Chain A
């Protein structure tokens, strides 16, 4: 019969020791909202589950211009954080519309990123925020830029014995607007057909683009940055026309697949539209941020 052992270490260090002990036979479980689904579908059959649930060390939101988020922080905790809502609305956009309240109460941002689904809702926001991923093992710590973290569907740079402890986000430039748009068939309990995060920092004229970051979900085997579209916008005045063009370029950079959830041509079409629309939200938000 299919069974597993469930271990619940009391600290990150103990979890790392267990990871060393069991190696590839073990699987980390945080909220379990991906792990249990995969276990039931027989995609994974680990002999040991090492639980990170309720480890205070991994569950925190530290704001001080920049932001540090513990990997074990639930989506619901992020959703309810006033600092995130105010200063990192792109994260709020993503986590407040992920699954359902029940899923958000259980699922964590670390689980979402480490599961490395092309559709992970928090990946595009963390990508445009130039997030650094802190990784720990019994041998020590290392930091990887989130751009380099994903290696393919369900694949990351994590080695056996490693876990993610936190996400570190630098303070955004002044006059920055950021937003995430998720295109779905229904309003809850749905994965994105495409997800688009945009971050735009403006010069003092609130028109000229100082920095553009655009990230796409479900557009390639991993969540991706649309570098050409970003380069196109940098230094240009941002308006409907330039955003429309940026959308076109991003759509060309993308290489989505046709699946039961959506056709490739449709995904490309939506990327085109959403880059523009999300860019316009960024402009509004940047103006709002400059005013306050």
Chain B
């Protein structure tokens, strides 16, 4: 391919991050700014009898003390099941009971400690299975509309049924069934949560936010403003953001509280979380208890798959409760299986609630499906990798969920892993070393979860021939600014270094659904292609109109300066038709005569000419486009082609288990990924490395330990995020089938690589020592306990 920019490993464009110049929410101060602090519940489930704020109000420097009793009762959240400040009842330790705005953080902190809350304890329920029982304490007595609730089960009937599972069972030669558990893990962004809320003179809210969904966030805040009685609207500004991994997808409670404090004080109010608060009061990944049953015929073809999930929803509802919409993709479509039954039940408990996290339910679902695949392969007496090859998805097929698979190199990924991990020699030894695999599929071409899955873009070419791109997307660290430049340079014909990007202001930027679902590159790339085509056409059009006069003026000037200069013979007619012209790398020239120095000039010259015509009929080179892809929303049966394309991949892991301590070491890790086309191979590998390490942490070390609703390890010492010293030797393999619907053939790669790590590791542990750990994380303690149990059973 003769591309100049796409497919090349351009270094990251956002160098201000490593020079310390980037301003994060922590760095931003505005005049008259106050600091907000939140007082959280000290009980998991209790009635609030009284809140005494008098001492806090008297403290010097305090400007406002708010509770559910002196603020409007406005419901927020996706099911409207909470108010920003809890009035009558607390349902979890992170419940926001009061909030303070003060002139500095220390005073705000001290003021919260002066607030006295009187509680009357209620019986709590922490186990989702207990919570489903008829006599369990009710976490919510009423729903958002005030109707009495009879139990703790959420009105979210997640269900996907296709084919006939009973028939599938009858056709099976082998069936396996087992239950697996995953727990809470946190996104642990380097940059913690924070915002600044301020009202302008017209009572419009200006909200500096770390969101990766600026327009969705604006909608939610606009509705909140209306509900507290304001007719104004919101402008969202996003600074540099230190990671999201899903955590910045919903508008969080502290953000509504900041708005209330800003409105009350008529001053800008900043709330910034510390690491402790980040762990205790920002929602992590959804835990799940999953029972999976599947079967295959005597040749190893899958006959049916049935998965039942119970999700501990915690006390309120955020996006965690919607992750079954994505779980249904691997459950129904990872490998070829026609008969599917998937159900997920979300249950209120007095635990913390969950949000989105990289993979959006896929890590949990793949964890159970891929372990069950190994169990079934063993039952059928087939090598687990061959078993996956037998059942691997094929390109251009439709799954029972009505997912339309386009390009699909799953078999190739499995083969890459098989060779590179030396499967033939390493598998099946049971000598303390073992290998395991797991595959995945994930949306790779957007995800229509709202009526629109669109992204708007505006381009303008300015005087010096530089291109400004204005987009509604956000960057939370994934490198968008680099790949946007690469794709825009390729598509528009302007130079990479002449492209600048404006994002992060809902007042300026065109509308976008949000940077989620691994969609940014796919969406912005397609929007760039649409918009750049218009820009090219305009430049060629201007070229056809003005190149001749510019060239003639040049030639005349040369002739005046150099009497010996002989003007070349030029066939001017070739310049008259814009179709004869082309733009590339900042220059405009004749397509069939690109080397002719007389018929070639910088784009800036024609654009400048158009601006400075001197006739009163000047023109600009601007264009806009809105790319809304041809994918579908999931229908009432849970079916539909939610994405334009799907990305596949396989991870293979070799582990060594210390049978005396239960510790394990990863000796080799191969991550083969279908990315359609790598726009920037270095950034693709960065995504794969980072996500696979995150997935390894999910598999081995990370867990939020909850004891009776309280997070016991809200710090980075006891929340075992892997460190640089724990680095895993990852061999990232990029497979490029060139996706027709993707920009330059690309699919999304933001989330996928954290999906298959945990099951691949669990399968490798089984191969090494013959015990299967059915709970995450796979701690040395669990491994040793399982080994001991096996020994005892063996006797």
A residues lining the B interface (CB < 8 Å)? 1-2, 100, 183, 185-191, 260-263, 266, 269-270, 273
Q: Taking CB as reference atom, which chain A residue is nearest B716?
A: A189
Evaluate contact between A187 and B723: CB separation under 8 angstroms. yes
Q: Taking CB as reference atom, which chain A residue is nearest B724?
A: A188
Known A-B contacts A186-B722, A187-B726, A188-B726; the reply to A260 vs B705 at CB < 8 A is yes
Residue B219, interface by CB 8 Å: no
Evaluate contact between B660 and A189: CB separation under 8 angstroms. no
Residue B718, interface by CB 8 Å: yes
Known A-B contacts A183-B661, A188-B723; the reply to A1 vs B110 at CB < 8 A is yes
Q: Give the Cβ gap from A125 to chain B, nearest Cβ, in Å.
A: 21
* Contact stretch, chosen from B438-446, B486-494, B678-686, B778-786: B778-786
* Chain B residues closer than 8 Å to A183, beta-carbon distance: 661, 663
Evaluate contact between A263 and B781: CB separation under 8 angstroms. yes
* Chain B residues closer than 8 Å to A189, beta-carbon distance: 716-717, 723
Evaluate contact between A1 and B725: CB separation under 8 angstroms. no
Evaluate contact between A260 and B723: CB separation under 8 angstroms. no
Q: Give the Cβ gap from A102 to chain B, nearest Cβ, in Å.
A: 12
B residues lining the A interface (CB < 8 Å)? 106-107, 110, 660-661, 663, 701, 705, 707, 712-713, 716-718, 720, 722-726, 779-781, 784-785
* Chain B residues closer than 8 Å to A190, beta-carbon distance: 717, 720
Q: Taking CB as reference atom, which chain A residue is nearest B705?
A: A260
Evaluate contact between A185 and B701: CB separation under 8 angstroms. yes
Q: Give the Cβ gap from B698 to chain A, nearest Cβ, in Å.
A: 14
Known A-B contacts A185-B780, A260-B713; the reply to A273 vs B661 at CB < 8 A is yes
* Chain A residues closer than 8 Å to B701, beta-carbon distance: 185-186
* Chain B residues closer than 8 Å to A187, beta-carbon distance: 723, 725-726
Evaluate contact between B784 and A266: CB separation under 8 angstroms. yes
* Chain A residues closer than 8 Å to B785, beta-carbon distance: 266
- Cα–Cα, bound, A290→B191 (Å): 53
For B701, B779, B784, the residue with the greatest tally of chain A CB atoms inside 10 Å of its CB is: B784
* Chain A residues closer than 8 Å to B716, beta-carbon distance: 189
Question: Can you spell out 23 A-B residue pairs with CB atoms less than 8 angstroms apart?
Answer: A1-B106, A2-B110, A100-B723, A183-B663, A185-B701, A185-B779, A185-B780, A186-B720, A186-B726, A187-B723, A187-B725, A187-B726, A188-B724, A188-B726, A189-B717, A190-B717, A260-B705, A260-B707, A263-B781, A266-B781, A266-B785, A269-B660, A269-B784
* Chain A residues closer than 8 Å to B726, beta-carbon distance: 186-188
Q: Give the Cβ gap from A36 to chain B, nearest Cβ, in Å.
A: 13
Evaluate contact between A186 and B723: CB separation under 8 angstroms. yes
* Chain A residues closer than 8 Å to B106, beta-carbon distance: 1-2
Q: A1-B110, A260-B707, A263-B781 are in contact. List 6 more A-B contacts (CB 8 A).
A: A183-B661, A185-B701, A187-B725, A190-B720, A269-B660, A273-B661
Known A-B contacts A1-B106, A260-B712; the reply to A186 vs B725 at CB < 8 A is yes
Q: Give the Cβ gap from A4 to chain B, nearest Cβ, in Å.
A: 13
- Cα–Cα, bound, A186→B705 (Å): 17
* Chain A residues closer than 8 Å to B707, beta-carbon distance: 260
Known A-B contacts A1-B107, A185-B701; the reply to A261 vs B718 at CB < 8 A is yes
- Cα–Cα, bound, A269→B779 (Å): 15
Q: Give the Cβ gap from B102 to chain A, nearest Cβ, in Å.
A: 11
One of A1, A2, A270 near B661 (C-beta < 8 A): A270
* Chain B residues closer than 8 Å to A188, beta-carbon distance: 723-726
Q: Give the Cβ gap from B719 to chain A, nearest Cβ, in Å.
A: 10
- Cα–Cα, bound, A269→B788 (Å): 11
- Cα–Cα, bound, A263→B725 (Å): 25
* Chain A residues closer than 8 Å to B724, beta-carbon distance: 188
Ordered nearest first, which 4 A-B pairs have the shortest CB separation? A187-B725, A188-B725, A188-B723, A273-B660
* Chain A residues closer than 8 Å to B781, beta-carbon distance: 262-263, 266
* Chain B residues closer than 8 Å to A191, beta-carbon distance: 717
Q: Taking CB as reference atom, which chain B residue is nearest A189?
A: B723
* Chain B residues closer than 8 Å to A260, beta-carbon distance: 705, 707, 712-713, 718
For B707, B722, B724, B725, the residue with the greatest tally of chain A CB atoms inside 10 Å of its CB is: B725
Q: Give the Cβ gap from B490 to chain A, nearest Cβ, in Å.
A: 42
* Chain A residues closer than 8 Å to B713, beta-carbon distance: 260
Q: Give the Cβ gap from A103 to chain B, nearest Cβ, in Å.
A: 11
Q: Give the Cβ gap from A191 to chain B, nearest Cβ, in Å.
A: 7
Q: Taking CB as reference atom, which chain B residue is nearest A263?
A: B781
Q: Taking CB as reference atom, which chain A residue is nearest B720?
A: A185
Q: Taking CB as reference atom, which chain B residue is nearest A270?
A: B661
* Chain B residues closer than 8 Å to A269, beta-carbon distance: 660-661, 784
- Cα–Cα, bound, A51→B733 (Å): 53
* Chain B residues closer than 8 Å to A100, beta-carbon distance: 723
- Cα–Cα, bound, A273→B720 (Å): 23
Q: Taking CB as reference atom, which chain B residue is nearest A274?
A: B661
* Chain A residues closer than 8 Å to B779, beta-carbon distance: 185
- Cα–Cα, bound, A261→B784 (Å): 15
* Chain B residues closer than 8 Å to A266, beta-carbon distance: 780-781, 784-785
Q: Taking CB as reference atom, which chain A residue is nearest B662?
A: A266
Q: Taking CB as reference atom, which chain B residue is nearest A183?
A: B661
* Chain B residues closer than 8 Å to A2, beta-carbon distance: 106, 110
Q: Taking CB as reference atom, which chain A residue is nearest B721?
A: A186
- Cα–Cα, bound, A183→B780 (Å): 11
Q: Taking CB as reference atom, which chain B residue is nearest A269?
A: B784
* Chain A residues closer than 8 Å to B722, beta-carbon distance: 186
Q: Taking CB as reference atom, which chain A residue is nearest B727?
A: A187
- Cα–Cα, bound, A270→B783 (Å): 13
- Cα–Cα, bound, A17→B785 (Å): 55
* Chain A residues closer than 8 Å to B661, beta-carbon distance: 183, 269-270, 273
Q: Give the Cβ gap from B107 to chain A, nearest Cβ, in Å.
A: 7
- Cα–Cα, bound, A189→B717 (Å): 7
- Cα–Cα, bound, A164→B130 (Å): 54
- Cα–Cα, bound, A271→B1 (Å): 61
- Cα–Cα, bound, A191→B722 (Å): 14
Q: Give the Cβ gap from B791 to chain A, nearest Cβ, in Å.
A: 13
Q: Taking CB as reference atom, which chain A residue is nearest B707?
A: A260
Q: Give the Cβ gap from B306 to chain A, nearest Cβ, in Å.
A: 35
Q: Give the Cβ gap from B663 to chain A, nearest Cβ, in Å.
A: 8
* Chain B residues closer than 8 Å to A273, beta-carbon distance: 660-661
* Chain A residues closer than 8 Å to B660, beta-carbon distance: 269, 273
Q: Give the Cβ gap from B296 to chain A, nearest Cβ, in Å.
A: 37
Q: Taking CB as reference atom, which chain B residue is nearest A100?
A: B723
Q: Give the Cβ gap from B782 to chain A, nearest Cβ, in Å.
A: 10
* Chain A residues closer than 8 Å to B720, beta-carbon distance: 185-186, 190
Q: Give the Cβ gap from A239 to chain B, nearest Cβ, in Å.
A: 17
Q: Taking CB as reference atom, which chain B residue is nearest A191?
A: B717
Q: Give the Cβ gap from A266 to chain B, nearest Cβ, in Å.
A: 5
Q: Give the Cβ gap from A251 to chain B, nearest Cβ, in Å.
A: 12
- Cα–Cα, bound, A281→B785 (Å): 27
* Chain A residues closer than 8 Å to B780, beta-carbon distance: 185, 266
- Cα–Cα, bound, A149→B663 (Å): 33
- Cα–Cα, bound, A261→B715 (Å): 13
- Cα–Cα, bound, A106→B320 (Å): 41
- Cα–Cα, bound, A169→B767 (Å): 48
Q: Give the Cβ gap from A53 to chain B, nearest Cβ, in Å.
A: 23
Q: Taking CB as reference atom, which chain A residue is nearest B697?
A: A186
* Chain A residues closer than 8 Å to B718, beta-carbon distance: 260-261
Q: Give the Cβ gap from B323 to chain A, nearest Cβ, in Å.
A: 26
* Chain B residues closer than 8 Å to A262, beta-carbon distance: 781
- Cα–Cα, bound, A74→B113 (Å): 37
Q: Give the Cβ gap from A260 to chain B, nearest Cβ, in Å.
A: 5
Q: Give the Cβ gap from A65 to chain B, nearest Cβ, in Å.
A: 35
- Cα–Cα, bound, A129→B713 (Å): 34
Q: Taking CB as reference atom, which chain A residue is nearest B107?
A: A1
- Cα–Cα, bound, A191→B718 (Å): 9
* Chain A residues closer than 8 Å to B717, beta-carbon distance: 189-191
Q: Give the Cβ gap from B500 to chain A, nearest Cβ, in Å.
A: 37
* Chain A residues closer than 8 Å to B705, beta-carbon distance: 260
- Cα–Cα, bound, A191→B720 (Å): 11
Q: Give the Cβ gap from B408 to chain A, nearest Cβ, in Å.
A: 37
* Chain A residues closer than 8 Å to B725, beta-carbon distance: 186-188
- Cα–Cα, bound, A190→B701 (Å): 12
Q: Taking CB as reference atom, which chain B residue is nearest A194?
A: B661
- Cα–Cα, bound, A266→B725 (Å): 24
